[in-house]
Amino acid sequence: EQAHSFLNMQSQFISYARDSSLYNPVLGQLLDSISSRPDTLAYKVATGDRLKYELLLTEYFFRYALKAYQGDNKLDAQDLGWFIPRKKVNPTALLDSMIGSKGANAYEPVSRQYNLLKAELLKYYSFEKQGKWDSISIDKPAYKLGEKAAAIRQVKARLALTGDLAIPDTTTVFDSTLFSAVKHFQRRYGLKEDGAIGKGLLKELNRPIQQRIRQLLINMERLRWVTADLPQDYLLVNIPAYTLYVYEGGQLNWTMNVVVGAVAHNTVIFQGDMKYVVFAPYWNVPPSIIKNEIMPGIKRNPNYLAQKNMEWNGGNVRQKPGPGNSLGLVKFLFPNSYNIYLHDTPSKSLFGETNRAFSHGCIRLSQPKKMAEYLLRNDSAWTPEKIGAAMNSGKEKYVTLKKTVPVFIGYFTAWVSSDGDLNFRDDIYGHDKKMADKMFTR
């Protein structure tokens, strides 16, 4: 029974991952024969082939387990910009679990998110097979509520297929139901939620179905690198989503918009432990910014430093605490070799932008006071009032957290959100493209 279960699982993986490297014709024939005659394996065992088939099954289970649960070892994660330590699995322990397991999936070391994406992948294979992913074009910049056009019927058909439009409709009228469906689609793709059928919407609708399938496969591969046993409390920044997620007790508690590194100053994908909250921080200007921005500014204007509330500090430049400080009124440190941290910002308007890749690599928070309150929630000395006072004191103060909080800076361009919606985002740093070149052009 376990052998049949494993052979089925391997066959399914080869099918949905589109990875034939695990296929073995002998095992394939064995699966076919077992499917048609359940006593085949028992027969082979009884006729003296037991050792041969047990060794073969064990070998291929190990190969399967490493590929399906740990990821492709031919992909160098760091070469692909991923510096979170990759998950390690123990094939022997997994084999023992499978042998003692009654359910085929009871022992699989994959996350819930992985299985959710797998379910969506199977849907997209169905869409591909149906052949209903035709390109859509419009004869004006945008269609809005109340207008009529033949292309509106095509948009309705596509949104019905993807589940954004609950009730199929073949009319050419842009009605309120379609307006809501368009906004739902825009939300899932990180677009401006204006409810209009315009350039941005069409760009996403017209991406080839094969590209979406590859996007799902790439993100599922990344999820194989991540442990399924995440801590109960942690912070996750998903760079392409421009969002920070706060998890408590293993459940998503709240989220906030963030600004991440610009394309020329990528935010690094890594993990750390939050240890300090710094109120009214100085900003120690990085040498690259001193060279490329500060020194040219001083040459143009001798009062540049004073106007920016900056000062020399030895051979370096720092910006004094205050509301105009580039780090805002508070920063959050999880020490790392990349000098990346979370912080407030005086540039609040950027959080209203759809695409928020503007920083030099650090992560700007839209709700910094709420983050401080969350991190210090178990410290009775820090009430919301005292936190607010410290932020506006003008005097830098370091606070060491009583308990560190894990921080993960990730990069996922496809995921299923807590409300069950499949989300897609642009590959802002080109990491997907680099992975695609490795995964699909061998």
- Would you list the DSSP string of 124-183? HHHHHHHT-------SSS-B-TT-B-HHHHHHHHHHHHTTSSSS----SB--HHHHHHHH
362 is catalytic: yes
Q: What is the mean pLDDT of residues 325-337?
A: 98
Active-site hit among 184, 343, 360, 431: 343
* Stretch 30-58: mean pLDDT: 63
35 falls in which pLDDT band (50, 70, 90)? low
Please tell me the predicted confidence (pLDDT) of residue 141.
Answer: 95
User: Is pLDDT at 275 greater than 60 in this prediction?
Assistant: yes
Q: What is the mean pLDDT of residues 255-263?
A: 98
Task: Give pLDDT, residue 20.
Answer: 82
pLDDT at 271 over 80: yes
Selecting among 4, 184, 360, 362, the annotated active-site residue is 362
Bigger pLDDT: 19 vs 207: 207
pLDDT at 158: 97
Does 184 qualify as catalytic in the annotation? no
DSSP 46: I
* Residue 30 pLDDT: 63
| 3-class SS of residue 363 | strand
Say what the pLDDT of residue 8 is. Answer: 81
Over 60: is that where the pLDDT of 198 sits?
yes
* 231-248 mean pLDDT: 98
- 61 burial via Cβ count (<10 Å: 0-12, 13-18, 19+): buried
Residue 47 has pLDDT above 70, yes or no: no
Average pLDDT, stretch 134-162?
A: 96
- The pLDDT score that the predictor gives to residue 31 is 55
What's the token pair of residue 308?
A: 């920016």
**What are the φ/ψ torsions at residue 194 (nearest 5 degrees)?**
-100, -5
Does 52 score more than 80 pLDDT? no
Report the greatest alpha carbon distance in the chain: 93
Domains of the chain: 2-109 (no CATH), 134-207 (1.10.101.10), 227-439 (2.40.440.10)
The predicted pLDDT at position 39 comes to 58
Tell me the mean pLDDT in the region 378-407.
98
Q: Give the percent of the chain with pLDDT over 90.
A: 78
For residue 48, the model assigns a pLDDT of 54
Which pLDDT score is estimated for 208? 97
Dihedral pair phi/psi, residue 16, rounded to 5°? -80, -30
Average pLDDT over residues 127-138: 94
Instruction: Classify residue 257 by its DSSP letter.
Output: E
For residue 98, name the pLDDT band (cuts at 50, 70, 90): confident
